[in-house]
A and B are shown apart, each in its own frame.
Chain A
Amino acid sequence: MAMNGKGEELDASKLKVLEFDGIVVGGGGSGLMASLQLAQSGFKTAVVSKVFPTRSHTVSAQGGITCAIQSADPDDDWRWHMYDTVKGSDFIGDQDSIEYMCQEGPKAVFELEHMGLPFSRTEEGKIYQRAFGGQSKDYGKGGQAERTCAAADRTGHALLHTLYQANLKAGTNFLSEWFAVDLVKNGDNQVVGVIAFEIETGEPYFLKSKATVLATGGAGRIYQTTSNAMINTGDGTGMVLRAGFPVQDMEMWQFHPTGIYGHGTLVTEGCRGEGGYLVNKDGERFMERYAPNYKDLASRDVVARSMMLEILEGRGCGPDADHVYLKLDHLGPEIVHKRLPGITELSKTFAHVDPVEHPIPVVPTCHYAMGGIPTNVHGQVLTQATDGTDNVVHGLYAAGEAACVSVHGGNRLGGNSLLDLIVFGRSAGLHIENALKDGITLSKATNDDIDQALVNLNRVNISSTGEDVANVKSELQKNMQLNFGVFRTGDLMEKGLVELENIREKTQNIHLTDKSSRFNTARVEALELLNLIEVAQATAVCANERKESRGAHARDDFQERDDDNWLKHSIYFADTKEVTKRDVNFRPKTVQAFQPIVRSY
């Protein structure tokens, strides 16, 4: 029975049921890596994606995938990469996870190459690597490293298409253009699948599975200006919060330094890796002042804040002095065209300048969620018991930007997300494969359990009056932009939190005017808004609670890092709207832990 204009309520008896060994919600890089692993091992696997997989946001990734594959430098060492990542995270990245990612990375990158990923090449025929921010040799002592493996400036596109192709070869089932609404949880707090509907027909289903992976990507659309695709609405995060499980470090949002002014579209850090740099209105290369060693290749949080300071102190460019310039014209057409062809296109389209001739106007843009659904290195989702211990949520996994295995801590280094996707997408797939082989038994969901997961969908479907979705969304985005941006302060956040409560009220009262079944994008957008509010509120509460400045979280009223109180993850549950703390892992298996030091670039 497709959802229709009669505003009928759905219940468990009206749903079609499909059953799989493993369901992966998300067809981006992390989802497709998990599904590939499962499909290759012969298990009945489905990828559920609200867009055709190659339309996922991973396709937009430009600069590359960071990994110590020893191509540019035969002496490169994954431990140096680990050091950089720990330092970049401002020391709240979990060192066991970071160790696993940096150590396993090369295998995963070569595997992608064997699948056909068209990496750019060096003269010796090896994978081309470029310099990215925050990369060093020899634990910060040996100068700038070149560690980011690239396919021109279209690495995400190359990676996503290659993984989609490999999944076709492996026989993965694709439920393309299906929207997952909520998790189905049984009486034992185990996850046994999801409620989803086929967007084309509006037909609702219970997708039953022994293992459900959330690989739903980022949520940058909680902000007004973002590099994120319109579909990045934090759906998996919303589902987890509604199911009563927590999220971690949600205050940690990365603002990427170089969003195209007026649009938010990204130009990759690879531009600076190839020798580009930022200038203020006086033509001064201001990063030399803020980060004398690494200059324009300091870590992203540092560069974004420096840019904002230049602008706030009146040295911005343009008639409103509200942006700075990214200079590439000194590199010459050869480098720009060969290494940064996509940037040339974007810059011409959105900034109306040819970077070979003129600098690109840029401002920081919301880019990446370091926080998300807490997991261990096997992708198993964790919840926190009242006494503070970690418990595994049976049946539920998360990977990619939606997850927080916490390799990025307070600030992600460029190129580390793509690596995170493939390493932890695969490890989730591997863990499920082994668990399936050993036999997974989850208790059954009752009809009541299923009805519980239909509450939101029903509320939207039967609404007859109420708030306009687009208006409420734009209110939410403005509020987040204004009160929870690059610089934060207690007063503004308190104000923002009150406004968010109002906005939540409105989201509980939205009106879906168009109730048709067939490809109803208004229904999708209404449901996305219910996820945006969960993510926004988690962000806001945690940001207000973390009374220090660390990584991407910069407070005017608490300008110092406070290791005594906040060398911790924040954990947030939606029902209580309270924040608790979780220990950061300082127990890597094969190396000595890196202890917190003052972070300078």
Chain B
Amino acid sequence: MDAIASKSISSINLSIYRYDPDSGKKPYMQDLSIDIPEGQDIMVLDLLNMAKEQDPSISFRRSCGEGVCGSDGMNINGKNGLGCITPLSEALKGNKIVLRPLPGLPVIKDLIVDMKQFVDQYKKIKPYLINDEEKPEREIKQTVEEREKLDGLYECIMCGCCSTACPSFWWNPDKFLGPAALLQAHRFISDSRDTATDERLDQLEDAFSVFKCHGIMNCVSVCPKGLNPTKAINEIKKKLVKRAL
């Protein structure tokens, strides 16, 4: 808040990636100058909404405005993040900000990418509880400690920031499951109520699914929810190795 006030910036130079394949035009960067209310720290998404008032054809996804729905993953001055919870004061370089779509996925229009590959990888890991046992009338019991194992895993909002920052995912988006899907895989492997751990590990055993992760940690540094896919992937690797012994 104060950073902006003291610099008393009132005009922001926004450079935004524009592309509509139907238009026949190549992608280009559109430059806009946007006046922001002084002394208030707005979010990148607020800036985009103001830009859209100037030019209603600018397209981006948004819904919750509070970092829980995962709609507005984008590349902000070179780093993936959510527009709605990234304050301008953090994102600005001087008074300039460059917004691009998440890298590595096909662009549908402007900041909107096609999430199909990302979601397909998620679906592959069977992202649902498998428990073939007879269900009790009440809840399946789980201790506080067992439940704690899911912390840091279940909170993923499927924004795609991590996987689209991951070089291994860029090169093999159809084979390497990517950090988000692997985090989910680990969420179900770790759930004391899930009875399919072995099948899940079987599926992850081939050379690509897990082992293409080289621990570059891009995923960790961009995750807006502070999750740690690298750690989850290492846990899976450990389980696979232990099982092989």
Interface of A with B (CB < 8 Å)? 51-52, 54-57, 59-60, 69, 71, 110, 113-116, 118-127, 151, 154, 157-158, 161-162, 165-166, 168-169, 200, 229-231, 265, 342, 345-346, 349-350, 352, 469-470, 513-514, 516-522, 525
Task: Say whether, besides A54-B157, A57-B64, A521-B60, A169 and B128 are in contact (CB < 8 Å).
Answer: yes
Hey, which chain A residues are within 8 Å of B193, CB to CB? 116
> How many angstroms between the C-alpha atoms of A126 and B136 in the bound complex?
12
- A60 near B66: Cβ-Cβ < 8 Å: yes
Whether B154 and A118, one on each chain, are in contact in the complex, defined by CB atoms closer than 8 angstroms, is: yes
Which residues of chain B in 13-28 are interfacial with respect to chain A, using CB atoms and an 8 Å cutoff? 20-23
Task: Give the chain B neighbours of A521 by CB distance below 8 A.
Answer: 52, 59-60
Give the distance to chain A from B114, nearest Cβ to Cβ, in Å: 8
Chain B positions near chain A (C-beta within 8 angstroms) = 1, 20-23, 41, 52-53, 56-57, 59-71, 85, 87, 108-110, 112, 115, 119, 123, 126-129, 131, 135, 137-144, 146-147, 150, 154-155, 157-158, 188, 191, 193-194
Q: Are A59 and B69 in contact (CB under 8 A)?
A: yes
Interchain CB contact under 8 A, B85 and A349: yes
Min CB–CB distance B25 → chain A (angstroms): 12
A56: B residues at CB distance < 8 A? 63, 69
Cβ B143 vs Cβ A59 within 8 A: no
The one of A59, A116, A350 that contacts B157, using a Cβ cutoff of 8 Å:
A59
Q: What's the nearest-Cβ distance from chain A to residue B4, in Å? A: 12
The smallest C-beta distance from A327 to any residue of chain B, in angstroms, reads 22
Q: For residue B142, which residues in chain A have a CB less than 8 angstroms away from its CB?
A: 121, 125
Inside 8 A of B63's CB, which chain A residues have their CB? Answer: 51, 55-57, 229-231
Q: Which of A55, A57, A71, A342 contacts B70 (CB 8 A)?
A: A55
* Contact B144 A154, beta carbon cutoff 8 Å: no
Complex interface: chain A residues within 8 A of B60 (CB): 521
Q: Is the CB of B144 within 8 A of A121?
A: yes
The answer to whether B128 touches A166, judged by C-beta atoms less than 8 angstroms apart, is yes
Contact of B154 among A57, A158, A517 (CB under 8 A): A158
Q: Are A470 and B53 in contact (CB under 8 A)?
A: yes
The residue that B128 contacts in the complex, of A51, A168, A265, A345, with Cβ under 8 A, is A168
Given that A54-B157, A116-B193 are known contacts, is A60 also in contact with B64, CB under 8 Å in the complex? Answer: yes
**Interface pair A265/B66, CB less than 8 Å apart:** yes
With A157-B157, A169-B128, A521-B60 known as contacts, the answer to whether A118 contacts B66 (CB < 8 A) is no
Q: Which residues of B contact A157 (CB under 8 A)?
A: 68, 155, 157
- Contact across chains for A518 and B22 when beta carbons are under 8 A apart: yes
Q: Could you tell me if B139 and A516 are in contact, using CB atoms closer than 8 angstroms? A: no
Indicate which residue in A119, A342, A346 contacts B139 across the interface (CB closer than 8 Å): A119
Q: Closest approach, in angstroms, between the C-beta of A116 and any C-beta of chain B?
A: 3
Closest 9 CB pairs of A and B: A116-B129, A125-B141, A165-B128, A514-B57, A55-B69, A522-B56, A519-B109, A113-B139, A121-B147
> Residues of A contacting B64 with CB < 8 Å?
55, 57, 59-60, 229-230
Query: A352 near B1 (CB under 8 angstroms)?
Result: yes
Check A516/B57 contact, CB under 8 A, given A110-B138, A113-B140, A169-B128.
Answer: yes
- Among B63, B68, B70, B188, residue most surrounded by chain A Cβ atoms (within 10 Å): B68
> Which residues in B have their C-beta under 8 angstroms from that of A114?
129, 131, 135, 139-140
A residues in contact with B41, CB < 8 Å: 352
